[in-house]
């Protein structure tokens, strides 16, 4: 029972989330329960050997309920794989429009990945476990691809806002793709090692290096 605790503050501007009701919070909790159950079973016995029924049982819901939350058993770990990208994108969206692209991207990724927050570290380690399980499971890899693809699409409007009309839509889309690739490859590379979550081979450092390599310094010479 995560006590999220976000409360309605009188002065709230338009785009802020409306206060989540009890039902909504329970739904979110149920979704996370299922996701965690799936991740644990996948990481231990592998997705192939895990049935949707088992995931549902471990999460304490009926099979039918499982399929109300997810289209397939592999999809169940999706929320756990997206949290990192969501965090990064949210940080990036806070940068002022028109700021230079490269530094903004790298700054956001550093904040998102190099955090001492124990919950974020936990998420990072879970991601590594899933990526390793995905190494020999095509269906799980497919989820990873899909998640990255969706991240790329969600990144487009954010990049467009930062570029502020200085780049045409096609270019924006390419930058979004490249940035997503940089993060993806950094995480994949890190998952293949025994490196810790901090230090020179940490995901944050890797990601920053990847971003710089693909997009250059990126202090916005149009």
Partner DNA sequence: GCCATTACGTCACGGCATGCCGTCTGACGG
Partner DNA sequence: CCGTCAGACGGCATGCCGTGACGTAATGGC
Interacting residues toward DNA by CB under 7 A: 2-3, 5, 7, 21-23, 26-27, 30, 50-53, 60-65, 67-69, 71-73
3 touches, from DNA, its own copies, none (C-beta below 5 to 8 Å by class)? DNA
C-alpha 73 chain-centroid distance: 19
Q: Does 44 bind its own copies (CB under 8 A)?
A: no
Give me 165's structure tokens: 């009309």
Yes or no: say if 73 and 51 are a contact pair by the CB < 8 Å rule: yes
Closest-CA residue to 152 (of 80, 160, 210): 160
The nearest distance, CB 139 to DNA, in angstroms, is 8
> What is the smallest separation between the CB atom of 35 and DNA, expressed in angstroms?
13
Q: How far is the CB of 128 from DNA (least distance, A)?
A: 24
Question: 148 in helix, strand or coil?
Answer: helix
What minimum distance in Å lies between the beta carbon of 51 and DNA?
4
- Of the two residues 70 and 190, which places its CB atom closer to DNA in the complex? 70
Output the CA angle 54-56-60, nearest 5 degrees. Answer: 115
Closest CA to 88 of 174, 155, 172: 155
Question: Smallest gap, in angstroms, from Cβ of residue 197 to DNA?
Answer: 32
Does the footprint of its own copies cover residue 137 (CB under 8 A)? no
CB 96, CB 50: distance < 8 Å: no
> CA 132 → CA 12, 34, 115, 158, distances in Å?
42, 20, 22, 30
- Are 186 and 105 in contact, with CB atoms under 8 Å apart? no
How far, in Å, are 4, 32, 84 from residue 90 at the CA level?
18, 20, 10
Site for its own copies (CB under 8 A): which residue of 103, 178, 201, 220?
178
Q: Which residue has the tokens 């940080």?
A: 91
Between 63 and 139, CB nearer to its own copies: 139
What track of x and - describes contact with its own copies for positions 187 through 216 (by CB under 8 A)? Answer: --x-------------------xx--xx-x
Judged by CB under 8 A, the stretch of 49-57, 60-68, 93-101, 184-192 that binds its own copies is: 184-192
Q: Which one of DNA, its own copies, none interacts with residue 173, CB within 5 to 8 A by kind?
A: its own copies
Which residues of the chain form contacts with its own copies (CB under 8 A)?
71, 138, 141-142, 145-146, 149, 170-171, 173-174, 177-178, 181-182, 184-185, 189, 209-210, 213-214, 216
């Amino acid at each position: 029972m995560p006590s999220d605790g976000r409360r309605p503050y009188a002065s709230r501007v338009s785009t802020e989330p409306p206060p989540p009701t009890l039902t909504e919070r329970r739904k979110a909790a149920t979704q996370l329960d299922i996701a965690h159950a799936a991740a644990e079973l996948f990481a231990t016995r592998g997705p192939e050997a895990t049935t949707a029924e088992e995931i549902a049982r471990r999460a304490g819901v009926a099979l039918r309920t499982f399929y109300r939350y997810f289209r397939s058993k592999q999809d169940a770990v999706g929320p756990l794989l997206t949290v990192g990208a969501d965090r990064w994108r949210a940080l990036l969206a806070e940068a002022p429009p028109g700021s230079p692209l490269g530094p903004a991207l790298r700054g956001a990724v550093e904040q998102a990945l190099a955090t001492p927050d124990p919950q974020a570290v936990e998420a990072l380690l879970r991601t590594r476990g899933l990526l390793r399980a995905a190494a020999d499971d095509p269906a799980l890899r497919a989820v990873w691809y899909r998640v990255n693809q969706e991240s790329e699409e969600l990144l487009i409007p954010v990049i467009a806002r930062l570029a502020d009309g200085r780049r045409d839509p096609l270019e924006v889309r390419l930058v979004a793709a490249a940035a997503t690739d940089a993060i993806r490859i950094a995480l994949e590379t890190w998952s293949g090692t025994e490196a810790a979550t901090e230090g020179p081979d940490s995901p944050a450092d890797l990601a920053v290096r990847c971003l710089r390599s693909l997009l250059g310094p990126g202090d916005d010479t149009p």
